[in-house]
Amino acid sequence: MDARRATTTIPRVRHVGFFTPNAPPAQPSRTHSFPLDSSSPPLSNSPVNNSLSPVMIPPSRHLSDNLVHRATSPLPVPEPSAFRRPIHSHHVAVVGSYNPTESLLGSSPPLASPSSRVIGDGEFSEESSAGWFRRSNSAKFASSFSGAFDLTSVKSSETGGFHLVKKPVVAQPKEEKSGAAAVVEPQINKGLSSSSSTKPLKEKTTKAERRALQEAQRAAKAAAKDMTVSVGVSTSKPVKHQPAQKKDAPPPASSIAVSDRKGVERSMEKERRKDIPAPRMQFDDKSRVEKAKKRAVVNQSEARNRVELFRHLPQYEHGTQLPDLEAKFFQLDPMHPAVYKVGLQYLAGDISGGNARCIAMLQAFQEVIKDYSTPPEKSLTRDLTAKISSFVSFFTECRPLSMSMGNTIRFLKSRIAKLPLTFSESEAKASLCADIDRFINEKIVLADNVIIQHAVTKIMDGDVLLTYGSSCVVEMILLYAHELGKQFRVVIVDSRPKLKGQALLRRLVGKGLSCTYTHINAVSYIMHEVTRVFLGSSSVLSNGTVYSRVGTACVAMVAHAFHVPVLICCEAYKFHERVLLDSICSNELGDPDALSKVPGRMDINYLDDLTNKDNMQLLNLMYDATPSEYVSMIITDYGMIPPTSVPVIVREYGREYLWI
C-alpha cells in the first residue's frame, strides 16, 4: 500500500465547494471553526453542466435571489448547529440554496411548459433540447458558477476532486498545497489514473480491468472519506507525504494539540484501519471462495453457467440453499431464532425492498440484544459486536446486504462501541434497543414522512406520474397526494420476473387511484403522457449515481430523453460514500431460473431443458446504476437536492449517527 502510494509523489490539493474564482482567499478565517464547510465539493461538476433538468431551473425572478444567496453563503452547508438538528419538521433541512419552497416549488409549474410540452407535439430534437439547456446554463450559471463549471476555462486547482469521470487531473502545482482550505488528497490521484486508464478498455472487460475499476472505486471511496478530514490534522501537518496522511480517520476533535500529535496519529491510524472497508469478495477468486465456503453456514453450491462478465459476483444454485438451511434448523445453535428467521426470509425472498430488509434486520438484532447476556469473562462491547458480525455474515450468505444495510450495521456497531463503560448490562441493552428504535423511527419512518411532504409539493392536478417497480416511499407519496385530493394519474411500469408492481397496483387501485399498468418494454410509448417520474432507490452513491432495482436506469433514461423530470425518493440513510461508475462491479445476481420459468405457465417454459447446457448462460441482474445526469432531483429527508449534492449529505450527515 505504502509503496504504491509513494509513487503519487505530488498530492493533489483542491479547492472545493462553491466559490467564484476570486473568492477563495476569503475563506481561511472560517476554516478553523468549521473545516468541513470550506473543504468540500458539494456539487460535482460535470453532469450538471449538460443535463440540468427543467426542474432545477428557477424562474427568473428567483434567480437573482438565488444567486445572492449563493454568493453570500457559497456552500450548501448548514450551520454547525444543524448537524444535530432534529428532522421532524417538514421544511427542515434545506440544504444550501436548494430551498425547495423557494426555487423548486416556484419552478415547477413553468418547468413543464417550455420543454416537456413541446415533447407532446413530437417536436423535440437533440438540437432543440441542447439549445434549451445551453440557455439554462447561461441563465443560471454564467455569473456564479462560471469558474466552477466551465471545464475549459477553469484552472485545474479549482476543479473538485469529483472530476473523476470526466477530467482527471493528475499533477498539481505544488504551491497550491499551502492553502488553508485545502485538503490533501493523494488518494484521488490513484483513483483517477486507474479509472481513466481503464476507461478505454471497457469493452474488453477482462478480470484485470474489473480489478482496476474496483481499485478505483475503493480509492474514490476512501477519497470521499477524505472530505471529513479535520483541519486540526490537515493544517498542523500541511502536506507531508506520509502514508498516515493519505487516508484519514473520522474527525477527532479539531482542537487536538500539536504536542501529542504522535499519540493522536497512532490512534488515528487504528481508526483508519477500521474505516477502510474490507475489499469486497471477488467470487472469481477460487481460493478465497473456497475459504469462504468453509466458514459458511449456508451450503452454497455455486451455479455453473455464470456469465463471464459477472463471475466476480456470488451466484449459487438457488434451489439447494433453502432446503439445506431449513434442514439445519436445529443444528445452528449459536444462531438466534429471530436472526435465523429473517435470514430464511431473505433467502426465500419473502422480504425484499431496502427498507423492509433493513427493518427486519434491526428488529432481529433487537431480539438478539434483548436475549443477550454477556458470557463470563467477556465484555459486552466486544462479545456483542462479534456476535452481531457473525449474524451479519449469516445474512450476507442468505442474500448480499444492500448498502443501506451496511450503513445500518455500521450505526449499530458504533453504538455498541460507544457504550459507556459504566453502564450495567441491562442498561446497555436497553440503550441499544432504544437506539435501534430511534434509528427505525428517525431514519426510516420520519424520513419517509419528510420525503412525502416534500414530494407532494411536486404533484399537481392533472399530473401523470410514472413509477417503476414498487417502492414503499413512492407508494406513500402517491397515497398521501391522493388523500390531499390531488387529481392525478399513475402509470406503474413493471418488469419480469419479480413483477413487484402488481402488488403496488393492487394496493393503489384498492385505494381508488386511477392507474395504468404496463411493462418496461412499453415505457417509451407511455412516456409521452407522463409529466413526472417518481422512482425509489436502493442506494444513492456519492457521485450521484442511483443504485436501484434493475430497469430504473432504463426508465430514467427514457424519461430524460422525453424531458420528463425524474425524481428519486430515497432516505438519507441509504446514501453511501462509495462511487460507482457502472453496474458491473457491484451488483447482485438473482435466481437465473426465474428468467426461464413463468410460474403457472407450464406451456411456455421453452427453456426447461436448456438450463443445463454449457453454452447457455442466464443473467438475472438485480440492480443497475443510473448515472446522475439522468436524475433531476433526489428527494431525501434533508430536502430536495440535485444528485450532485449527495456527497454533501454523505459528508455532513453521514456520520451524524456516529456522533450522537
Partner 1 sequence: MDFQVVVLAGGTSKNLLPLVSKEVPKALLPVANRPVLSYVLEQLELSNLKDLIVVVEGEDAAIHVGGWISNAYVDRLHVEVATVHEEVGTAGALRAIAHHLTANDILVVSGDLVFDVPPGALAAAHRKHNAVVTTMLCPAPISGPTESGSSGGKDKIKKPRRYNIIGLDPSKQFLLHIATGAEVEKDIRIQKSILRAVGQMEIRADLMDAHMYAFKRSVLQEVLDEKDEFQSLKDDVLPYLVRSQLKSEVLFNGVPQTEENGNEKVSSQNNQAVVSRIMANASTPSFHELSSGYNGSTHVRRIHKCCAYIASESRYCQRLNSIQAFSDINRDVIGDASHLSGYSFSAHNNIIHPSAQLGTRTTVGPHCMLWEGSQMGDKCSVKRSVIGRHCRIGSNVKVVNSVVMNHVTIGDGCSIHGSVICSNAQLQERAVLKDCQVGAGFVVTAGSEHKGESLARK
Q: Cα dihedral angle (152, 154, 157, 163), rounded to 10 degrees?
A: -50
* Beta carbon of residue 518, minimum distance to partner 1 (angstroms, whole number): 21
- Nearer to partner 1 by Cβ, of 68 and 327: the residue is 327
- Min dist. Cβ of residue 603 to partner 1 (A): 16
Q: How far apart are CA 638 and CA 651, in angstroms?
A: 13
Closest to partner 1 by CB, 235 vs 363, is: 363
CA distance 73 to 62: 16
Nearer to partner 1, 574 or 651 (CB): 574
Q: In the bound complex, what is the minimum distance in angstroms from residue 338's beta carbon to partner 1? A: 9
- Nearer CB in complex with partner 1: 239/479: 479
What gap in Å lies between CA 194 and CA 239, rounded to an integer? 23
Q: Minimum distance from CB of 494 to partner 1 (Å)?
A: 15
Nearer to partner 1, 79 or 326 (CB): 326
Q: Cβ of residue 185: shortest distance to partner 1, in angstroms?
A: 39
* DSSP β-bridge partners for residue 541: 576
Residue pair 119/562 in contact (Cβ under 8 Å)? The answer is yes
Residue 441 beta carbon to partner 1: minimum distance, rounded to whole angstroms: 5
Q: Which is nearer to partner 1, 6 or 503 (CB)?
A: 503
Q: Which three cell numbers mark 559?
A: 424519461
Measured CA distances, 536 to 59, 549, 645 (Å): 28, 8, 18
SS3 at position 61 = helix
Q: Closest CB to partner 1 among 348 and 658?
A: 348
DSSP per-residue codes, 461-487: TTEEEEEES--HHHHHHHHHHHHTT--
C-alpha of 351 from chain center: 21
Query: 455-489 as b/e, with b when 16 or more CB fall inside 10 Å?
Result: bbbbbeeebbbbbbbbbbbbbbbbbbbbeeebebb
Of 86 and 510, which has the nearer Cβ to partner 1?
510
Other beta carbons less than 10 A from residue 342's beta carbon? 26
Q: Which residue has the cell 474489473?
A: 210
Name which of 79 and 350 has its Cβ closer to partner 1: 350
Task: Kindly tell me which of 261 and 328 has the beta carbon lying closer to partner 1.
Answer: 328
- Cα 442–chain centre separation: 18
Minimum distance from CB of 337 to partner 1 (Å)?
A: 5
* Residues 6 or more apart in contact with residue 548 via CB below 8 angstroms: 535, 536, 537, 538, 539, 568, 623, 624, 626
Closest by Cα among 45, 5, 44, 48 to 191: 5
**Residue 178 one-letter amino acid:** S
Q: How many residues does the chain have?
A: 660
Least distance in angstroms from the C-beta of 469 to partner 1: 12
Q: Which residues pair with 536 in a beta bridge?
A: 569
Residue 461 Cβ vs partner 1, minimum distance, rounded to whole Å: 25
Rounded to the nearest whole angstrom, what is the least distance from the CB of residue 357 to partner 1 in the complex?
A: 8
| Cβ 321 to partner 1 shortest distance, Å | 12
Nearest Cα to Cα of residue 618 among 309, 320, 310, 305:
305
Bridge-based pairing of strands 633-636 and 532-536 is unpaired
Residue 300 corresponds to which cell in the numbers above?
Answer: 452454497
Q: Cα–Cα distance between 503 and 518 in angstroms, integer?
A: 13
Beta-strand relationship, 633-636 and 566-569:
parallel
Distance in Å, CB of 504 to partner 1, minimum:
8
Nearer to partner 1, 46 or 470 (CB): 470
Which lies closer to partner 1 via its Cβ, residue 327 or residue 616?
327
Min separation Cβ 328 and partner 1, Å? 6
Q: Nearest to residue 246, comparing CAs of 577, 579, 36, 6?
A: 6
Binding positions for partner 1, rule: CB under 8 A: 323, 325-333, 335, 337, 340-341, 344-345, 348-353, 355-357, 359-360, 440-441, 444-446, 448, 470, 472, 475, 503-504, 506-507, 510-511, 600
Least Å distance, CB 27 to partner 1, is 42
36 vs 32, 230, 264, CA distance in Å? Answer: 9, 7, 20
Closer residue to partner 1 in complex, CB, 224/473: 473
User: CB 659: neighbour CB atoms within 10 A?
Assistant: 12
Helix residue ranges, H only, 96-248? 105-111, 117-120, 126-149, 186-198, 207-226, 231-236, 243-246
Residue closer to partner 1 (CB basis): 330 or 606: 330
Q: Identity (one letter) of the amino acid at 5? A: R
